[in-house]
Amino acid sequence: MAGKISNFLREYVLIFSIIFTIVGLIVFFMGVIWTWFKDVNIDFINNLGEWNTYLLFIGFIILITGVWYLYSYFKNKKFIMEELETNKRSEFLKKHAELKLVVKKMPKKYRKMLKDKEKELKIK
């Protein structure tokens, strides 16, 4: 069961990281605005009470998580694409172990690209 969930999340890591970033940004700014304007006499803000501070921290954590996964996705994608562009077998073999580890964290299409490149360069 855990394997199915992690495979699903791995396939859609880009979409989820974008969603986390947007939701975190919205919740963080809501917390900031409501914390700054808690003295204003607005019923909705006054009803939230101390939740404004919690929204601020929760939004910040969600925002950082989304940005981190977004950054790691693009960094890994860039690394994979740069390494798969090479046509020299010796250069490819130098980074092959690291490339296999990075590809495990990415969607299936990158694993397929790696297998195709291994076939092309005749690497087992």
As for how many domains the chain has, the answer is: 1
Is residue 59 a contact partner of residue 30, using CB atoms and an 8 Å limit? yes
- Taking the model in full, what pTM does it have? 0.81
Pull the structure tokens for residue 34.
């409501």
Give the 3-state secondary structure percentages of the chain, helix then strand then coil, rounded to 5. Answer: 80, 0, 20
Per-residue pLDDT tens for 93-116?
888 889 999 998 899 899 999 899
pLDDT of residue 79: 93
Enclosing domain of residue 32? 2-120
Question: d(Cα 36, Cα 53) in Å, to the nearest integer?
Answer: 10
CA angle (93, 98, 99) in 5-degree steps: 75
Per-residue pLDDT tens for 14-57?
999 999 999 999 999 888 887 777 666 666 656 666 677 888 89
Amino acid, res. 3: G
